[in-house]
């Protein structure tokens, strides 16, 4: 049995051969309302689903078997010492033929066909086999309460048959047991087929859901990687490029500067550009290997808190006035994760001071200890004139990236203006105590 199922799409082309997949079964799985196998077009008109080759084979086999076996039962009745009246036999054959033909409708109206055939079976021999096929269809297409009710109707009709047309050569109780066994076998086989189809559909639904979840995980991983690359690029290059822009601007606006100053500024531009290329190469290597740079001899470890003095000195050479206070036992003892985040916070803060508040004094505070956490804070006053100077362009995403970085490290980031007119950037990072 081949079933093609797409969750939530039972009313369109997501289900191939709906006659093999009962609508009630799809409703059990939350994929379709309880209705026949027909689907509806967007205009509201019902569209009949074409039968597959398998459907035709099964339906033709059921019809032929019902007719032939029904005729056999009629022949057995004629061979009895006291055959039934001719009128009853004619009615049996005519109504039995109609009942066998009704099997072609059992997929669309299984309950109606089964009840009708059960009523005919109360006096007709020819329709008995067709009645069993209809009970099988009900067991496949409907839930057990409906199956139980239809089975009860069928057994009641069989009891009426025993009274109306008793077999003179077979005791009534033996005939009753035989009828109950045949009915139970047809219903049990139908429920088994239903359970098997339900299992197939549930497994297919699970496979489709797992595939969708896998695609979502892949997209999430790609988004996370893009965000990580963007953050690392910003953290590393913004600092260097701001130095390049500032010194290049100085050369542009002071063409008459002494040759010594021009040479010094050009040297800083050259060294900053080289350092920016090295930093970019390191970041790409780190991202490629998913580590801190130790997996590739061509890369250096990512900066930590121990590299803050070099960062401060570099900013001072660029013309930023920085005051630093260290209140930590030893910079090198800070955990690498917290130290790396602290370095990026100070790097972003000094870059922003250089870009938006040139000429001010940046105050840096680094304090903390094992068990007490690590705090890094940078303050700078409003530039002269009381307005932020948009000296260099910025994407406005640096602080957002810092917030994400600090949050992932288990810390807390604050930034904004204080009542005394200073801009404060403060990060609180975890520093576990000694074991």
> Are the C-beta atoms of residues 123 and 163 closer than 8 Å to each other?
no
Same domain, 331 and 186: no
At residue 295, the 3 state secondary structure works out as coil
Joined together, the tokens standing for residue 309 give: 């003095």
Is there a domain that residue 432 lies in?
Answer: yes
Query: DSSP readout, 79-138?
Result: TSSSPPPHHHHHHHHHHHHHHHHGGGGTTTSHHHHHHHHHHHTTT-STTHHHHHHHHHHH
Distance of CA 146 to the CA centre of its chain: 36
Backbone phi, then psi, for 322, in 5-degree steps?
-130, 135
Q: Give the whole-angstrom CA distance, residue 180 versus residue 170.
A: 15
Handedness of CA 259, 260, 263, 266 (dihedral sign): negative
pLDDT reported for residue 325: 93
Q: How does DSSP assign 24-75, residue by residue?
A: HHHHHTTSS-S--S-EE-TTS-EEPPPPPHHHHHHHHHHHHHHHHHHHHHHH
Asked if residue 258 is part of any domain, the answer here is no
Q: What is the pLDDT of residues 357-413, one digit of tens each?
A: 888 999 999 999 888 899 999 999 987 665 544 444 455 557 777 888 888 888 999
pLDDT for position 14:
38
Long-range contacts of 415-420 (CB under 8 A, 24+ apart): 418/379
Instruction: Establish if 394 belongs to a structural domain.
Output: yes
CA distances (Å), origin 205, targets 142, 416, 420: 20, 51, 62
Residue 39 pLDDT: 43
- Comparing 82 with 100, the larger pLDDT belongs to 100
Question: Would the pLDDT of 353 be above 50?
Answer: yes
132 or 173, which is more confident?
132
Predicted confidence band of residue 282 (pLDDT cuts 50, 70, 90):
low
Q: Give pLDDT, residue 48.
A: 52
* Cβ atoms of residues 89 and 78 within 8 Å: yes
- Predicted confidence (pLDDT) per residue in 2-48, tens digit: 344 444 444 333 343 344 454 444 444 444 434 444 444 444 444 45
The predicted structure's pLDDT at residue 19: 43
203: Cβ contacts below 8 Å, ≥ 6 apart: none
For 239-280, write each residue's pLDDT tens digit: 667 767 766 766 777 777 777 777 777 777 777 777 777 767
**406 within a domain of the structure (yes/no):** yes
Residue 245 included in any domain: no
Percentage of the chain with pLDDT > 90?
Answer: 13
Provide the domain limits for residue 33: 18-212
Residues 337 and 206 placed together within one structural domain of the fold: no
Q: Categorize the per-residue pLDDT at 288 as very low, low, confident or very high, splitting at 50, 70 and 90.
A: low
Calculate the CA dihedral of residues 62, 68, 70, 76 and round it to 10 degrees: -150
Whether residue 87 is contained in a domain is answered as yes
CB-neighbour burial class of residue 80 (10 A; exposed 0-12, middle 13-18, buried 19+):
exposed
Per-residue pLDDT at 278: 72
Same domain, 160 and 24: yes
pTM given for the model? 0.45
Residue 193 lies in a domain: yes
Question: 208 and 309 in one domain?
Answer: no
Average the pLDDT over 335-356 and give the result.
87
* Same structural domain, 163 and 308: no
- Verify that 42 and 145 share a domain, yes or no: yes
Residue 196 has pLDDT above 80, yes or no: yes
CATH number, domain of 324, equals 3.30.565.10
pLDDT at site 421: 87
Rounded mean pLDDT, 189-210:
89
Are 392 and 318 a contacting pair, CB within 8 Å?
A: no
Of 212, 241, 271, the last residue of a domain is 212
- Which of 212, 247, 271 is at the close of a domain? 212
Looking at the fold, whether 206 and 309 belong to one and the same domain comes out as: no
Tell how strand 321-327 and strand 361-369 pair up: parallel
In this structure, of 35-49, 90-104, 290-304, 326-340, the range with the lowest mean pLDDT score is 35-49
Mean pLDDT of the chain: 76
Q: Are 364 and 312 in contact (CB under 8 A)?
A: yes
According to the model, what pLDDT value does residue 36 have? 42
**Last residue of some domain: 152, 182, 212?**
212
Count of structural domains within the chain: 2
Whole-number Å distance between alpha carbons of 380 and 364: 9
171 in the same domain as 25: yes
Structural domain contains residue 314: yes
């Amino acid at each position: 049995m081949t079933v093609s199922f797409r969750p939530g799409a039972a009313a369109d082309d997501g289900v191939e051969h709906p006659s093999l997949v009962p609508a009630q079964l799809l409703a059990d799985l939350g994929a379709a309302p309880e209705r026949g196998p027909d689907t509806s077009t967007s205009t509201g008109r019902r569209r009949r689903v074409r039968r597959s080759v398998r459907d035709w084979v099964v339906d033709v086999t059921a019809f032929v078997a019902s007719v032939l076996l029904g005729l056999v039962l009629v022949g057995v009745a004629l061979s009895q010492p006291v055959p039934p009246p001719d009128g009853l036999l004619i009615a049996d054959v005519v109504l039995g033929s109609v009942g066998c033909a009704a099997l072609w409708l059992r997929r669309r109206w299984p309950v109606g066909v089964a009840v009708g055939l059960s009523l005919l079976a109360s006096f007709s021999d020819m329709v008995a086999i067709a009645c069993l096929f209809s009970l099988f269809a009900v067991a496949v297409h409907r839930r057990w309460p409906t199956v139980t009710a239809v089975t009860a109707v069928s057994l009641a009709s069989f009891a009426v048959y025993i009274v109306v047309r008793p077999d003179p050569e077979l005791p009534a109780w033996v005939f009753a047991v035989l009828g109950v066994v045949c009915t139970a076998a047809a219903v049990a086989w139908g429920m088994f087929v239903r359970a098997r189809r339900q299992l197939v559909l549930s497994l297919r639904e699970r496979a489709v859901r797992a595939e969708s979840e896998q695609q979502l995980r892949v997209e999430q991983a790609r988004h996370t990687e893009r965000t990580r690359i963007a953050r690392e690029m910003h953290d590393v290059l913004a600092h260097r490029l701001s130095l390049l822009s500032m010194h290049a601007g100085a050369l542009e606006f002071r063409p008459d500067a002494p040759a010594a100053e021009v040479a010094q500024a050009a040297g800083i531009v050259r060294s900053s550009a080289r350092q920016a290329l090295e930093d970019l190469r390191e970041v790409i290597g780190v991202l490629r290997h998913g580590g801190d740079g130790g997996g590739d001899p061509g890369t250096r470890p990512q900066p930590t808190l121990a590299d803050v003095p070099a960062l401060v000195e570099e900013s001072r050479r660029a013309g930023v006035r920085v005051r630093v206070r260290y209140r930590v036992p030893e910079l090198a003892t800070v955990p690498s994760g917290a130290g790396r985040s602290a370095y990026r916070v100070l790097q972003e803060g000094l870059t922003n001071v250089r870009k938006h508040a040139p000429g001010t004094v940046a105050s840096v505070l680094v304090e903390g200890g094992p068990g007490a956490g690590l705090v890094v804070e940078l303050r700078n006053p409003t530039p002269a004139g009381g307005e932020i100077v948009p000296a260099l362009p910025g994407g406005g995403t640096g602080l957002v990236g810092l917030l994400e970085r600090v949050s992932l490290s288990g810390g807390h980031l604050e930034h904004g203006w204080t009542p005394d007119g200073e801009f404060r950037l403060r990060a609180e990072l975890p520093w576990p105590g000694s074991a």
